[in-house]
Structure formats: C-alpha cells, structure tokens
Structure 1
Amino acid sequence: MKLRLLAGVSALVAAAGLSACSPSGSGDGGAGDGGRTTIDVWLMRDSVSAAFQKQFEKGFEAAHPDIDVRVQIQEWEGIGEKVTAALAGNDAPDVIETGNTQVAQFARSGGLLDLSDKVGDLGGEDWLKGLAEPGAYEGKQYGIPYYAANRVVIYRKDLFAKAGVDASSIRTRDQWIAATKKLNKGDRQGIYLPGQNWYTLSGFIWDEGGDLATESGGTWRGALDTPEALRAMAFYEKLQALGKGPKDSDEAQPPQAEVMAKGQVAQLISTPGGAHVVTRNNPGLKGKLGFFPVPGKTPGTPGAVFTGGSDLVIPTVSRHHDAAYTFVKELTGDAWQKKLAVAMSYVPNKTTLAKAVAKDPGASAMAVGAAVGHATPNTPGWAAVEAKNPVKDYMTAVLTGSDPERAAARASDAITSAMKSGT
C-alpha cells in the first residue's frame, strides 16, 4: 500500500523524462534490435525521482548490455483494475511495481510468477516483514520487497524545549503520555491525532499482540473485539484526548500537516514527508521539526507500525522471465537499495541496510519502526474492508461515548462480512 507523504520525493517522473528504448522483441526469444532483449516495466507515479530512474537505467544497462529497459509510469488511481486486466491478457509488462498489500489479490488469479525459489538468492532472510509477508500468498513468494515507508512522530523542537521535554528520552508509551500531558497546555495541543487514524491504531493493536483480523481453518474474521485490540483502542483514546483532533475524520480531513503549520501543535503522527508540508505552509518552522519512532510498550522495542511501500512482481505471461528477474534482482539488491534510500529518503528493503539512511533524521526514525513493521491482513478480501472501512466508524463510535466492546463487536462483524464479499 502506497503512503503518499514520503520524504525526499523532489520531482515528479514525467513521461518526457523516460528513456527511449527499442521496441519489444517478438517471438519466444524475446530479442529486440541488435539481439537485445527489451523488457517493459511499470513503475508508479512518484515512487522514484526522474534523476534516480535515469541513474538506475544507465547503470543497469551498462551492467547488462543485452537487456534494454522501457519504463512506463503508472497512476495509483485505478491501478488495481489495470493490473488485473493486464495479467488476464497476453500483453502484460515484464515487471510491475505494486503496493505491498495488493500482491495477494493479483496472486490469487494465478497471474504472477512464483519466485519462492529465488528468495535465498535475493537475501530474503533479511527482508522487512511488512513488505515480505504481504508479498507472499498461500505459502509462495510472488512479491519482492522494493522499498518501505512508515509513520513516525514529527515534533516541534522549540515547543518541547519550552515545556522541558527531551524527545530522546521518550522510549515507551507511558513516557510518551507523560510528555504529551506536559505539552498540552493552554492553546497548545500536545498532539494532533484525528479520531480515525486507523493505521496508527493498527500499530497499537499489533503492539498488544492482536490484529485487525485473524484466520482459522481458511476463514477470516474481524478481530477488533479481542482483549488485545480493546486495550489498543483504550490507549488510542487516551492519547487522542491530549489534543484537539476531530473525532469523526482522518488525517486528511483537514490535512493534519496544515493544522500543525498553524503553530500550536507539538506533535503529529505521519510519514516524514509531512514535515515538508508543514514547512511549506509555514516557512518559519524550518529547522524546528524533529522525528522519533512511535514508542512501544517497553524501552527496548519500538512501537509497531504499518509498513507501506511497494513490491515488484513478474507476470506469468511475460515472455522474458530471465531478463525480468535480472531487473528485479538489481533494483532490490543491496547496492541499488542503498542508493535508492538516500535519494528518496525511503527505508531499504532489508533490516541489514538501515545504516544507509543514518544521516537522514526522518528516514532513520522510519527505519527503527520498519524493523518491527506489519501489513494489513494478507487476504484478497481485505481490499473490500478498506473500501467500507468499518474501523474508522468504530473509532469514532468509541471516542464519542459508545460502549467499546459493543462497538468492537459490530465492527468485527462488519470486517468479517466485507472480507467474505471481497473474496
């Protein structure tokens, strides 16, 4: 699943900036002009800058002169339907970037190449779980982790100093609550947390050992009514009360970074890119924003977060499986992952590569959380849940006074029903 506010995305990838390559080859050999194999690659809008794309294509084709790469930039809006149609036809591209939580729905159709035998070759033992796990379906690996991004706490250094709060000392939830209480004085909001930020709630649920939905005997059911999830919602309610965030909308309504830019918000939970939006709306806050990982329950473990980002998949109908795999191996390999992380302020796809972003405050805070990141339930039916999103309605119900257990039971039933309809 793509997180839109990613740090360091400095340029849109325009069609005019794409390399001009020879036309795709024909026949089983897949060779284009001059005996080179041309592969078509779909990458998503804003996933990389034009500069990085050009750098990678030049480096890749120099290392693999027998392969010609033709990149086509795709829009996120409607991409699910477009990929589904491509996989069902005979003219699918050779490599597709897809949101990590979309892999299951595409794999279910049989349209993706099983790459399970390549996991060892790709160093899969070190992959971020939040990318690798949703890239698998029914025990087989179809999606190869590409890059990750997740939420961190963005805070006002000046407001923390004024309140006598040391951000580096906030290592646990209890410390976070205590600090936020000190920050929540007068017109100042200790934290701006809208009532329907369900990805943040998901992290608290995972911290408690629960999940949004669970599977047993091949059947999925909603799990917001478990003791673990109820404890997580109780913590969310406690934290949300230390600010003036609306109880009936999410972080986009109104845009939370714009709220912070007005000057009276000490913290918000966002991808680091949210800081760029804050300073764009209020240049006076440049240099005054910092980042730290979402705190966990104990000092030694950061808070669990939803891992957004992308995987790379190879369609079964591709005529160039070997060349496509070579492309995937290069782009997800250590050398290019380090360059991508620095260029785009992403989290690399492996826990062992976290040091690549050590000098980037936002990305390094993300990397800490990404090490214990999760994805939404790995079932094709989950897409139907997000379309209706009973989790948001549940959160608003609790925050406005409804009985938590009854509201959770209703929401769990709604999740179960949605997953069945989606499957």
Structure 2
Amino acid sequence: MKLRLLTALPALVAAAGLSACSSSGSDDVAGDGGRTTLDVWLMRDSVSADFQKKFEKGFEAAHPDIDVRVQIQEWEGIGEKVTAALAGNDAPDVIETGNTQVAQLAQSGGLLDLSDKVDELGGKDWLKGLAEPGAHEGKQYGIPYYAANRVVVYRTDLFAKAGVDADAIKTRDQWIAATKKLDKGEQQGIYLPGQNWYTLSGFIWDEGGDLATESDGTWRGALDTPEALRAMAFYKKLQALGKGPEDSDEARPPQAEVMAKGQVAQIVSTPGGADVIAQNNAGLKDKLGFFPIPGRTAGTPGAVFTGGSDLVIPVMSKHHDAAYTFVKELTGDAWQKKLAVAMSYVPNKTTLAGAVAEDPGASAMAVGAAEGHATPNTPGWAAVEAKNPVKDYMTAVLTGGDPAREAAKASDAITAAMK
C-alpha cells in the first residue's frame, strides 16, 4: 500500500526528487541490435536516482539483450492509471503497486499469475505482510518488493532523564509503565492521535483478532470481537498518557512536527518521522532513537501494518519472460540487500533482515516486520478506507462512547462497505 498510510513515503525515505530516466513507449524493440525494450513503472521516491542508475547498469550488464526503460509514476491517481493500462493494449511490462492494491488489480484479470515462480523466488521467506496481499483467490500475482512499518521514535535524553531504558521495553505492560514515568507536567509521555488506526490494527492482530473476517465467501467487520475490544482498551490506555487529539489522525497536525516542539517523549511512526523532527528542530537531531513496538509478551514483538510495494506483470505485456527476469533480479537477495541499505527499507525476506543491522531505524522496523500484517485481502476493503468507520469508532470510544456498542456500529459499517 502507498506509504502515505505510514505518514507518507517521502517522509520515510527523505529521498531527493526523481526524474524518469526515459519515457515508456509501445515499441516492441529498441533500435539497438534487436534488444528487447522493457517498459517499467516505478513509483515516485520508491528508489533514489542513484540506486535506479546502479540497478539499471547492473541489470543490463547481466542481461545485454534487454533495454530497461523506467518511467517514474506519481502516487496521486495511480490506481486509475494502472487500471486503464491493464485494460488497454499498451500496458507496461512491469508495474510497482502498493501491496494492498494487488487484490483489486488481480480481480480485473489483468495481472499475470506468477504462482509457479514462488518457490524459485524464495517465497517461503517472504514477509507475509507483502506476500499475502500480493495473492488473490489462492494465486500469487504480486511479488514482494520492499517493506516499511511503524516503530517507536523516542527522545533519548528524556528517557535517560526519567531513568527509562528503551532497550528493556519488550512488552506492552513495560511500555505503559515507562510511558507513565515520562508523562509529567507539560511533557507528554507519548503523542498518540485518537485516529491512528494502523497502530490500533497492530494491537488487534496482537490479540488474535482482525479488522474483518471472511466466512463462506462473505466478509464482515470484526471490531466487535473480544480480541478487537481488548485492543481498543489498550489503545485508550496508552493514548491517555499524552495530549494527542481524540478526533484526528497522525497527519492533522503532523505528529512529527508536534514532537519537534520539544515536549513529546515518543511517537509511533516510520523512522522517517525522525528526519521530519530534525528538520523542524535541529537541536533534536542527535537525541532520537528507535525501538520496535512492544508485543503482549517479551518473546514476540508487536504486530505492525506492513506498508510497501509489490511488482506485478500485466497480462498484456509483450515480454513476459524479460519482465520476469527484471522482477527476479530486483526482488532477489543481492539487489534487495543493496536496496535496503540505500533506502533504509526492510528487505522482502525475513532472512535478509541483517542487511540493515547498522541502520537503527530500519533494524527496528525489521524486527517488527517479522510480525507484519496487511489490511483484509479483499477488493472490497478499498471502499472501507474511503469512508473509514474505524477512525470514527476510535474517536467515539475515546470521547466516552460505549466500546461494545460503538464497535458493533463500526463493524456493521465495514460489512456494508465491503459488499
């Protein structure tokens, strides 16, 4: 899914603006010795210009019969653009898409089924938060590309002053106890907006619940289950240890900018939030640290929503073999390690987590990514996010509404939206 759901991809990677190295075209062959022209759509800021240049050079050296032409796409309106491309006769050969968008695209019949390639691509080690939404009705259409997820961004100086050791926070109970020590006077123990629903989702998954469940082909909202209600109770307890607004999300106002004012001890954000904090308050640049969101028990980190992208191949591509070669290289171990280091991403396989060991933010993400999830894998979920009754539910509970009654209302709204 587009990482605006993780406080925006540009904030995550802090990458410089990119420009397309060439425009996509419909010519089957470039005029260079009969090389196959491969048109690829990658998303704005998914890779830096430097990494893109290095990958293309390395790929074409290894595959001199393929000429890669990358066109950088904007996130705004990309869903409609991809849908139109899949329905036409001049679709690109490879498309980067948000992981949770794959089910909608696959439903149209426009994506190539890559199920027979999963083993060859090392699918047993894929992050499930990328792999599961890349599948639809038992078939694999999206190949995991890169991931990012939330961590706790904290003030090292405030933690030290309060006598709190961030490395020792492994459970939710320990997190609450530490946050209480940090919540003093004007200082907020945590800034947690009332509608940060992806963070709530992690707590729900921790409890063994989900946002919606499927039975006999029918999906229904599941916020009214005992598991989800326990998660909301914990969210309310944590949110009360700060002054986060009850009726808005992390973007209104931007939570990193709030933390930059100096009175917030921690936020739940992608590591890129630390860059935004430092940009707004240079004095905090060397006073920021990261740790994985704690889980219910010390042995398992908290569940997180996995944002990121998959690569898909349109059925209408004229170069399936070359397209697969491109996907195999970019999602393979060698380039995944380089991509993770260059962009501070989580690699697409759990076995590659060590690639970001020297990056504090990315390594904290990698720990959480092992417990990563995605939103319900159904094309109908897009309609839920359009109105997002989860946010309204959270505000209702935080402002005194009966949790069970409000959860039932929200679950009914989710069910209706998915029909």
TM over 0.5: yes
Partner of 1:2: 2
Instruction: Give distance in 1, aligned partners of 2:273 and 2:153.
Output: 8
Partner of 2:92: 93
Partner of 2:333: 334
Which letter does structure 2 place at the counterpart of 1:43?
Answer: L
- Give, in angstroms, the shift of residue 362 of structure 1: 0.1
Instruction: Give distance in 1, aligned partners of 2:137 and 2:367.
Output: 29
Structure 1 residues 195-231: Cα deviation after superposition (integer angstroms, max 9, x where no partner): 0000000000000000000000000000000000000
Structure 1 residues 304-335: Cα deviation after superposition (integer angstroms, max 9, x where no partner): 00000000000000000000000000000000
Contact 2:13 2:45 in 1 (8 A): no
Partner of 2:320: 321
- Does residue 235 (structure 1) correspond to residue 270 (structure 2)? The answer is no
Instruction: Give distance in 2, aligned partners of 1:74 and 1:9.
Output: 17
Partner of 1:123: 122
TM-score, normalised via structure 1 length: 0.96
Contact 2:144 2:309 in 1 (8 A): yes
Instruction: Give distance in 1, aligned partners of 2:399 and 2:55.
Output: 51
Aligned residues: 414
After TM superposition, the structure 1 = structure 2 runs for residues 6-405 of structure 1, keeping only pairs within 5 Å, are: 7-15=12-20, 18-19=21-22, 24-26=26-28, 32-405=31-404
- Give, in angstroms, the shift of residue 86 of structure 1: 0.5
Instruction: Give distance in 2, aligned partners of 1:44 and 1:128.
Output: 20
Which letter does structure 1 place at the counterpart of 2:83?
Answer: T
- Give, in angstroms, the shift of residue 33 of structure 1: 3.5
Is the partner of 1:401 in helix, strand or coil? coil
Which letter does structure 1 place at the counterpart of 2:42?
Answer: L
Is the partner of 2:160 in helix, strand or coil? helix
Contact 2:14 2:275 in 1 (8 A): no
- Give, in angstroms, the shift of residue 119 of structure 1: 0.3
Which letter does structure 2 place at the counterpart of 1:174?
Answer: D
**Runs of at least 4 residues off by over 4 Å:** none
- Give, in angstroms, the shift of residue 286 of structure 1: 1.1
Is the partner of 1:81 in helix, strand or coil? helix
Is the partner of 2:264 in helix, strand or coil? coil
Contact 2:23 2:70 in 1 (8 A): no
Is the partner of 1:92 in helix, strand or coil? coil
Which letter does structure 1 place at the counterpart of 2:263?
Answer: Q
Instruction: Give distance in 1, aligned partners of 2:279 and 2:85.
Output: 39
Instruction: Give distance in 1, aligned partners of 2:407 and 2:389.
Output: 10
Which letter does structure 2 place at the counterpart of 1:12?
Answer: G
Is the partner of 1:70 in helix, strand or coil? strand
Which letter does structure 1 place at the counterpart of 2:157?
Answer: D
Is the partner of 1:324 in helix, strand or coil? helix
TM-score, normalised via structure 2 length: 0.97
- Give, in angstroms, the shift of residue 358 of structure 1: 0.1
- Give, in angstroms, the shift of residue 9 of structure 1: 3.4
Contact 1:152 1:269 in 2 (8 A): yes
Which letter does structure 2 place at the counterpart of 1:2?
Answer: K
- Give, in angstroms, the shift of residue 10 of structure 1: 2.7
- Give, in angstroms, the shift of residue 351 of structure 1: 0.1
Instruction: Give distance in 1, aligned partners of 2:286 and 2:385.
Output: 36
Contact 1:25 1:33 in 2 (8 A): no
Q: Any unmatched runs of 5+ in structure 1?
A: none
Instruction: Give distance in 2, aligned partners of 1:376 and 1:384.
Output: 12
Is the partner of 2:417 in helix, strand or coil? helix
- Give, in angstroms, the shift of residue 19 of structure 1: 4.8
Identity among equivalent positions (%) equals 86
Structure 1 residues 261-288: Cα deviation after superposition (integer angstroms, max 9, x where no partner): 0000000000000000000000000110
Is the partner of 2:256 in helix, strand or coil? helix
Query: Considering only aligned residues, what root-mean-square deviation do their CA atoms show, in Å?
Result: 1.1
Contact 1:25 1:37 in 2 (8 A): no
Instruction: Give distance in 1, aligned partners of 2:181 and 2:217.
Output: 48
- Give, in angstroms, the shift of residue 74 of structure 1: 0.6
Structure 1 residues 25-80: Cα deviation after superposition (integer angstroms, max 9, x where no partner): 43xxx575411000100000011110100010000000000000000111111111
Contact 2:22 2:71 in 1 (8 A): no
Instruction: Give distance in 2, aligned partners of 1:334 and 1:25.
Output: 31
Which letter does structure 1 place at the counterpart of 2:282?
Answer: P
